[in-house]
């Protein structure tokens, strides 16, 4: 997805010094090169030099903002196909990137330091002008509170087509109410506000002075969000964006991507369930074939009746469970629909076979010794194939 970096012209806000952070900045400015090849090594250096989460967080921001140059040449490139791992490793290697690369590196180091954080997708405005392209920044939780960080805007700006590196502390540890003046997440969950702004509020700059709707408990909603599977997270993200109004092209484009990702995630979940079903079915077939082979041998060598009863019952129960599972799989994508249909048919056929075998075992157990021998006069049975 293309993400933007707006021109920042207010140079008076650059290169500020934040009281109390000078020692942290100076220590991070001399980090040995050997410690900058991976985020884990950067985190190790930070852990060894700073004790508080506050100082560690500052160290992450300072290093990210001062060691990555904005890649003006590729600022309009589509990087949606890049994996998280690639974004991080390539950025550390080249020391170049766009907003998502700054955010991914920041997030990765914070994760290594066990600092809770999220990467936020949204759009921005500068000097009243709304960007037509998406942007990415970060949210962190420290001391039980949520703050926003934009290491991209904190690193400098683009002037006359060239990147100008200047540390801007205005985007370090920003309160949600302040960040909402220039950065708006696509999903209002990540505004961290009890009265989330609508897209219209943000674009117009007209923020309601009184509560216009019920208080939004974002803390509980984030906890709930974290408990959901990926497919459900995406599904609910779509619903929140839709409910907040999304006529702006940048929002519509993002929503299209999330919808596609939601469908893909649900299909991946379905495929995972299908693979689990295949494994369960194949195991059931092993049990069924063991029973058939034993029956073809006329239950020789003999085993106690209770063991034989269990042997006859097991494949039937396993296959019954497979029948239950196959109705919970959901969407697996058109390319896998035929395979799923075939699997369901095989499960049903195998279940009918297991019922027949189980019934034979029950009939066998009810007979006398002579009666048991007569039951084997019908000949042998073929084994059932797995999937």
| Residue pLDDT, tens place only, 112-126 | 999 999 999 999 998
Domain 11-227: state its class.
alpha beta
pLDDT value of position 45: 98
| Whole-angstrom distance, CA of residue 327 vs CA of residue 339 | 14
Of 38-52, 140-154, 200-214, 327-341, the range with the lowest mean pLDDT is 200-214
pTM: 0.80
pLDDT value of position 211: 63
pLDDT value of position 73: 87
Q: Which tokens is 6 given?
A: 């707006």
- The pLDDT mean for the chain works out to 90
pLDDT value of position 167: 93
Nearby residues of 55 by Cβ (< 8 Å), 6 or more positions away: 21, 24
Asked if 91 and 154 count as a contact pair (C-beta separation under 8 A), the reply is no
Q: Of 93, 94, 100, which is closest to residue 77 (Cα–Cα)?
A: 100
| Residue pLDDT, tens place only, 251-282 | 999 999 999 999 999 999 999 999 999 999 99
pLDDT value of position 11: 35
For residue 359, name the pLDDT band (cuts at 50, 70, 90).
very high
Question: Mean pLDDT, to the nearest integer, of 83-94?
Answer: 94
Where exactly are the structural domains of the chain?
11-227, 272-378
Task: Count Cβ atoms within 10 A of the Cβ of residue 300 and give its class: 0-12 exposed, 13-18 middle, 19 or more buried.
Answer: exposed
| Residue pLDDT, tens place only, 138-171 | 999 999 999 999 999 999 988 888 889 999 999 9
Q: Which residues of 88-124 are buried (b: 16+ CB within 10 A; e: fewer)?
A: bbebbeeebbbbbbbbbbbbbbbebbebebbbbbbbb
Percentage of the chain modeled with pLDDT above 90: 78
- Dihedral of the CA atoms 86, 33, 107, 8 (nearest 10)? -100
For residue 14, name the pLDDT band (cuts at 50, 70, 90).
very low
pLDDT value of position 5: 39
């Amino acid at each position: 997805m293309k993400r933007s970096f707006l021109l920042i012209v207010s140079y008076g806000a650059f290169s500020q010094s934040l009281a109390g952070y000078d020692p942290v900045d100076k220590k991070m400015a001399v980090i040995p090169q050997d410690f900058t090849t991976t985020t884990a090594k950067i985190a190790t250096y930070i852990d060894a030099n700073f004790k508080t989460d506050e100082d560690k967080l500052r160290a992450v921001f300072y290093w990210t903002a001062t060691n990555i140059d904005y890649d003006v040449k590729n600022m309009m490139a589509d990087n949606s196909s890049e994996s998280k791992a690639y974004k991080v490793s390539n950025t550390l290697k080249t020391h170049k990137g766009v907003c998502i690369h700054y955010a991914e590196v920041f997030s990765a180091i914070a994760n290594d330091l066990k600092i809770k954080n999220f990467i936020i997708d949204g759009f921005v405005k500068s000097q009243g002008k709304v960007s037509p392209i998406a942007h990415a920044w970060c949210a962190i939780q420290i001391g039980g509170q949520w703050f926003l960080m934009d290491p991209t805007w904190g690193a400098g700006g683009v002037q006359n087509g060239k990147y100008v590196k200047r540390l801007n502390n205005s985007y370090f540890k920003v309160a949600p109410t302040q960040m909402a003046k220039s950065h708006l997440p696509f999903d209002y969950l990540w505004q961290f506000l009890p009265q989330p702004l609508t897209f219209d509020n943000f674009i117009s700059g007209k923020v309601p002075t009184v509560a216009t709707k019920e208080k939004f408990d974002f803390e509980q909603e984030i906890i709930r969000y974290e408990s959901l599977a990926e497919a459900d997270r995406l599904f609910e993200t779509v619903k929140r964006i839709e409910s907040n109004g999304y006529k702006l092209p940048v929002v519509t484009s993002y929503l299209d991507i999330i919808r596609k990702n939601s469908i893909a995630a649900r299909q991946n979940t379905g495929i995972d369930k299908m693979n689990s079903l295949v494994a369960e079915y194949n195991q059931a077939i092993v049990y069924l074939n063991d029973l058939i082979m034993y029956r073809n041998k006329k239950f020789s060598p003999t085993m106690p009746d209770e063991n034989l009863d269990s042997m006859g019952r097991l494949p039937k129960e396993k296959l019954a469970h497979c029948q239950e599972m196959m109705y919970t799989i959901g969407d697996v994508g058109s390319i896998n629909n035929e395979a799923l249909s075939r699997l369901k048919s095989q499960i049903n056929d195998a279940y009918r076979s297991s019922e027949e075998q189980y019934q034979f075992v029950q009939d066998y157990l009810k007979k006398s010794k002579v009666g048991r021998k007569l039951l084997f006069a019908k000949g042998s049975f073929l084994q059932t194939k797995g999937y």
